[in-house]
Amino acid sequence: MTIRSTLSRLGLALLVLAGSSQVMAAGKCERLIATGNPDQPPYLWRDPQQPQRLIGASADLLMELGKALEVKIEVIDAGKRSAAEGDAVSGRVDLLAGSYLTPARLGQFDFVHPAYLEVPVHVWVQRDKAPLFGRRADLASHSGLAIGAGSFSAALAQQVDELKLKRTGKASDALWQLQQGKVDYLLLERNAGVALVERLGLGGELLALEPALGSEPLYLALSHNSACNDPWLRGQLAKKMTEFRAAGLPQTLLQRNLERWKSQAQAPAIP
């Protein structure tokens, strides 16, 4: 046997081994569990027909990732935002959808890059009070409200702290407080704000000021304590997310779920 043929056979054997290791990596976890904030329409909210199930743009994106990776991804309701994040940190849940990157979370999660959506955060006010907010500096002289801790990225969270804003747990409660004049303005993500304002019938009373106060990247995060967290999965998630972003899939899913949320609001209640 010649040296060339020996090297050729050795190379073929290495290729076979490499291929089998990829199969083993792909088959290591055939099922992933994902969760997120259940009060985050149009990204995630509870399915009215199956309340234990979460639906929305983030859930649809996870389904597309599962198909692409040939891995079953189940999106469950783990409770309010803090409970969902706690389950993900512990590893009881593998993936956390709709997460903002903060220094603390970097010690708990591998963030899948790129972010799948950019989320604009606006100042929401009563329409007739909009002229009071001609400049960003005007915020300091008015009472404001922000959604509870963990709902903003580090940069915007710092602004919230500097403005000494009150906190509330639910965006719908915050919008009602704004409508009733209990606060002068609210910091809220635009798409979630539009969805909730329409659902609550407050479109004629509340307004999102332009330009946005800031923009936050929305990430899919993989728990450090997930049994499925390995280099193959991290690499494949990043690869597919890059392809999805280039194809505009997350934006398509966002628009589809905005319409879905509206149609559910208009549907008659089931007796």
Residue 149: predicted pLDDT: 57
pLDDT digits 0-9 by tens, 97-130: 999 888 889 999 999 999 999 989 999 999 999 9
Q: Is the pTM here over 0.85, yes or no?
A: no
pLDDT digits 0-9 by tens, 72-102: 999 999 998 889 999 999 999 999 999 988 8
**Lookup: tokens for 105:** 């979370």
Residue 152 has pLDDT above 80, yes or no: no
Looking at per-residue confidence, does 17 or 169 come out higher? 169
Q: What average pLDDT does the structure give for the chain?
A: 85
Residue 4 has pLDDT above 60, yes or no: no
